[in-house]
């Protein structure tokens, strides 16, 4: 056992109620923290104001409670944290690691794509803005070196940010701070030791480690749990019309989430409710039993 107490977190974006895929991520981080006797925090990632849906944050918190996922302390709300993100951006600017970018979306449309389908920034503004150009976003410099980390589910992974991502945005053209910057500032602020989240964010991790290094912040451990996809192989999300978690039969849904995480409860718990299932699962939690591959949701989820 390490001397540091485990601190996990769940960081939903309030763009709609939780669906089965987000429940799987929430359950995994809750179990990982609770099984280690640690704290579990909730952070509302409402940075992207235009995408947030009024009432969704409250709905998410009620869903977590109803599924027995009780958090510790206050919920941290990102829309109240602009000063902390501005301070981090200042720190990057002060050491010449952040620069303004004038490129528009259409100018970047022809940029090469990485394996995730994201545009790799070709570095057009890296050495300065073209004459007369208006600065829009702020980007952070990356290097031509391999950034590696150990994922507790996927093992050792490496990415060369320069060729696979390019200098990435830390403050957007619409004035909002970017997810990558906010997440590292807040994970450090909350003392998070263990990030456990969906595998859709796996390849965001090297960007976050790069920012932690530049900002002198500690790197948490990472574990990326299987993504839940629909029959067409798309991640369950608002865009793919994933239904909200049901308000009855929660035990059965939770048992399905545990099975997705490689921790199917025994037959004796077939009619158990959330509290009993979570107690069983936290006593049996082994991250090495969590599968790597995406899992196809049952039609009802």
Q: Note the residues at the interface with ligand GLU (CB under 6 A).
A: 11-13, 45, 183, 197, 201
Closer Cβ to ligand GLU, 14 or 251, answer by number: 14
* Nearest Cα residue to 225 out of 243, 209, 202: 202
- In the chain, the N- to C-terminal Cα span, in Å, equals 37
Cα 46 to chain centroid, rounded: 13
Tokens of 131: 């004459």
Q: State the burial class of residue 227 (Cβ atoms within 10 Å of its Cβ: 0-12, 13-18, 19+).
A: buried
Instruction: State the minimum distance, in angstroms, from the CB of residue 36 to ligand GLU.
Output: 18
In terms of CB distance, is 141 or 197 closer to ligand GLU? 197
In the complex, minimum distance from the CB of residue 179 to ligand GLU, in angstroms, rounded to a whole number: 7
- Comparing CB distances to ligand GLU, the nearer of 39 and 197 is 197
Q: How far is the CB of 185 from ligand GLU (least distance, A)?
A: 12
Q: Answer for the pair 205, 165: CB distance below 8 angstroms, yes or no.
A: no
CB 199 within 8 A of CB 294: yes
Cα–chain-centroid distance for residue 133?
A: 34
> CB of 239: closest distance to ligand GLU in angstroms?
12
Closest CA to 149 of 89, 88, 91, 213: 213
Q: With respect to ligand GLU, which residue has the nearer C-beta, 225 or 272?
A: 225
Comparing CB distances to ligand GLU, the nearer of 62 and 126 is 62
Q: From the CB of 55, what's the least distance to ligand GLU, in Å?
A: 17
Phi and psi angles of residue 52, each rounded to the nearest 5 degrees, phi first:
-75, 145
Question: CB of 225: closest distance to ligand GLU in angstroms?
Answer: 11
CB 3 → ligand GLU: shortest distance, Å?
Answer: 25
CB of 54 to ligand GLU, least distance (A): 17
DSSP letters for 71-125: PPSPPEEGGG-HHHHHHHHHHHHHTT-EEEE---TTTTTTS-B-TTSPBPP--TT
Yes or no: say if 79 and 87 are a contact pair by the CB < 8 Å rule: no
- Between 44 and 255, CB nearer to ligand GLU: 44
- Beta-carbon contacts of 202 under 8 Å, excluding residues fewer than 6 positions away, are 151, 154, 157, 224
201 vs 252, which CB is nearer to ligand GLU? 201
Q: How far apart are CA 223 and CA 9, in angstroms?
A: 12
**CB count in 10 Å sphere of residue 109:** 8
Identify which of residues 111 and 201 has a Cβ nearer to ligand GLU in the complex. 201
Asked whether 71 and 31 are in contact (CB, 8 A), the reply is: no
């Amino acid at each position: 056992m390490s001397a540091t107490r485990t601190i996990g977190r769940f960081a939903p974006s309030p763009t709609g109620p939780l669906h089965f895929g987000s429940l799987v991520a929430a359950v995994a981080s809750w179990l990982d923290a609770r099984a280690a006797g640690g704290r579990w925090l909730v952070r509302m990632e409402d940075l992207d104001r235009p995408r947030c849906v009024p009432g969704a944050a409250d709905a998410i918190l009620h869903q977590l409670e109803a599924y027995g996922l009780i958090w510790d302390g206050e919920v941290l709300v990102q829309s109240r944290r602009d000063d902390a993100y501005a301070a981090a951006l200042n720190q990057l600017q002060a050491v010449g690691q952040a620069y303004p970018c004038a490129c528009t979306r259409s100018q970047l449309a022809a940029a090469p794509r990485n394996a995730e389908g994201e545009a790799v920034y070709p570095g057009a503004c890296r050495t300065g803005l073209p004459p007369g150009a208006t600065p829009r976003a702020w980007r952070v410099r990356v290097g031509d070196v391999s950034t590696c980390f150990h994922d507790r589910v996927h093992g050792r992974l490496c990415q060369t940010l320069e060729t696979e991502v390019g200098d990435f945005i830390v403050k957007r053209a619409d004035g909002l701070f970017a997810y990558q910057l906010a997440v590292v500032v807040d994970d450090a602020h909350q003392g998070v030791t263990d990030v456990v989240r969906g595998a859709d964010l796996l390849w965001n991790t090297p960007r976050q480690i790069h920012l932690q290094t530049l900002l002198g912040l500690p790197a948490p451990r990472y574990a990326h749990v299987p993504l839940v996809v629909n029959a067409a192989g798309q991640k369950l999300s608002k865009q793919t019309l994933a239904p909200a978690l049901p308000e009855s039969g929660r035990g059965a849904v939770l048992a399905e989430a545990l099975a997705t995480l490689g921790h199917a409860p025994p037959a004796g718990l077939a009619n158990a409710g959330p509290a009993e299932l979570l107690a069983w699962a936290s006593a049996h939690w082994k991250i090495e039993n969590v599968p790597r591959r995406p899992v196809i949701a049952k039609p009802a989820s």
